Amino acid sequence: QAHLDRIAAVDGDIHAFLHVSDSALSAAAQIDRRRAAGEDLGPVAGVPLAVKDVLVTTDMPSTSGSRILEGYLSPYDATVVARARAAGLIPLGKTNMDEFAMGSSTEHSAYGPTHNPWDLERIPGGSGGGSAAAVAAFEAPLALGSDTGGSIRQPAHVTGTVGLKPTYGGVSRYGAIALASSLDQVGPVTRSVLDAGLLHDVIGGHDPHDSTSLDQSWPSFAEAAREGARGDVLKGLKVGVIRELPDAGFQAGVSASFRAALAVLESQGAEIVEISAPHFEYGVAAYYLILPAEASSNLAKFDSVRFGMRLEVPGGTVEDVMARTRDAGFGDEVKRRIILGTYALSAGYYDAYYGSAQKVRTLIQRDFDDAFAQVDVIATPSAPTTAFKLGEKIDDPMQMYLNDVTTIPANLAGVPGISIPSGLAEEDGLPVGIQFLAPARQDARLYRVGAALE
């Protein structure tokens, strides 16, 4: 009730939610009854959870921020949502996002932007700005996000929250409306590293419904966070800092906060090691070919027949109906990427664009392999700037894309990454995050290090 009251009080200004559940209270009462009857429900039962609208739910519409899916009701729950419900978490509502998770500011939502609770004139990050803003504004203690190129970590960075992108295959994508299937991962957005671990323990692990799901057991991430918080995990930890990360484009306060965090790590016994990742900076270029290519294919299913909106064309052919529906249903950024992706995949251009981008992806993966032969984790600022003003970059896609320079490489390589708050930038008083990256399957290391520094 307290969270619903908070939503009623502040969400008119913040617009973190696209839909608020009308069954949250009855679900909570059910948990109360089971607990009163002596059932052992585990650590998160009864805790409210905000769910990014990219995840399908049976009891609330799922739009992925797009007009084309307005009012769409899924016949099944995403695996992460089903697991959350089974653990007693209470889905509180669906959160706003850039359309089909394309963006870094939530301004590409068909339903209007979300506002950053720290300053309502600024962006809450994207694409999962709704989830991060809901957590930062105390509308929800926990949220689910998805991260294809940074959409969990960059919103966490600009809202002073914790966000973790798991190892590719660590969390099921079943029921996550696909953006770019080789990059997408679902993960937690929370106010502390321990909370993220608690949520990750619930949603993670093998799912036969997702062919890319890793069939292995995972350690408890909550336990890893607790170890980090009490132990001396930073002693002797080798933290890699990338030599080639271009200094240009990084806001002074972001760089200063990053250096201060490194100094804290060092004072706790960590060793800062300069490493070379020469292809890291080409991540953005490779990503903005691979992502549109995969997205153009994934979004072909919105054909006015199988899902969502259909606009009739009297006397028209089925192609006319598809064209009219897709024209009206998709926003500009989605159309831009479908066109880019279709072009990059077309015969004659495939080798020049998509093929080259895949080669760069392999080089970035090798950079990570070399780096992790020398260090335990890599640290970077989570994003180049603090929250920018709403409207500032909306007409300049290149500027928007460059915001993802530090987050994208982890998606290309499939490795896990966490953003945790590292203070406020001196010049504007806005939150800054530090990102840690670990080798694939070593998500627990990020919880240990994150909780130790938090």
Q: Which helix (H) or strand (E) holds 167?
A: none
| 453: its two tokens | 């520094």
Size of the site for ligand GLN (CB under 6 A): 14
Residue 151 near ligand GLN by CB under 6 A:
yes
* Among the listed residues 103, 117, 141, 169, the single contact to ligand GLN using CB under 6 A: 103
Cβ within 8 Å of residue 4, ≥6 positions away: 20, 24, 25, 92
- Minimum distance, C-beta of residue 281 to ligand GLN, in the bound complex (Å): 16
Residue 192 near ligand GLN by CB under 6 A:
no
Which of 109, 127, 131, 422 does the annotation list as catalytic? 127
List, as one string, the DSSP characters of 60-111. S---TT-GGGTT---SS--HHHHHHHHTT-EEEEEE--SGGG--SSSTT-TT
Residue 147 near ligand GLN by CB under 6 A:
yes
**52: annotated active-site residue:** yes
| 103 Rama sector, left if φ>0, alpha if ψ -120 to 50, beta otherwise | left
- Minimum distance, C-beta of residue 408 to ligand GLN, in the bound complex (Å): 7
Q: How far, in Å, CA of 194 to CA of 36, rounded?
A: 26
**Segment lying near ligand GLN (by CB under 6 A), choices 34-42, 97-105, 277-285, 322-330:** 97-105
- Minimum distance, C-beta of residue 153 to ligand GLN, in the bound complex (Å): 8
Residue 291 near ligand GLN by CB under 6 A:
yes
Closest residue by beta carbon to ligand GLN = 151
Which residue lies nearer to ligand GLN by CB, 151 or 385? 151
Q: Which of 45, 432, 441 is nearest to 258 (CA)?
A: 432
* Among the listed residues 85, 404, 413, 438, the single contact to ligand GLN using CB under 6 A: 404
Which residue lies nearer to ligand GLN by CB, 229 or 288? 288
Which residue lies nearer to ligand GLN by CB, 393 or 441? 393
**182: annotated active-site residue:** no
Q: Which helix (H) or strand (E) holds 59?
A: none
**Segment lying near ligand GLN (by CB under 6 A), choices 130-138, 148-156, 300-308, 384-392:** 148-156
**127: annotated active-site residue:** yes
Residue 149 near ligand GLN by CB under 6 A:
yes
Q: Starting from the edge strand earliest in sequence, which strands make up the sheet with 142-147, in order?
A: 17-20, 90-95, 48-52, 142-147, 185-190, 162-165, 417-424, 431-437, 377-381, 238-242, 271-275
Q: List the beta bridge partners of residue 162.
A: 190
* Among the listed residues 101, 224, 293, 453, the single contact to ligand GLN using CB under 6 A: 101
Q: List the beta bridge partners of residue 143.
A: 50, 189
Give how far the C-alpha of residue 445 lies from the chain's centroid of Cα atoms, to the nearest Å.
19
Within 13 Å, how many C-alpha atoms sit on residue 381's CB side? 29
Which residue lies nearer to ligand GLN by CB, 114 or 151? 151
Residue 148 near ligand GLN by CB under 6 A:
yes
Q: Which of 218, 163, 225 is nearest to 194 (CA)?
A: 225
* Among the listed residues 21, 63, 109, 127, the single contact to ligand GLN using CB under 6 A: 127
Query: Which residues bind to ligand GLN, rule: CB under 6 A?
Result: 101-104, 127, 146-151, 179, 291, 404
Enzyme catalytic residues: 52, 127, 151
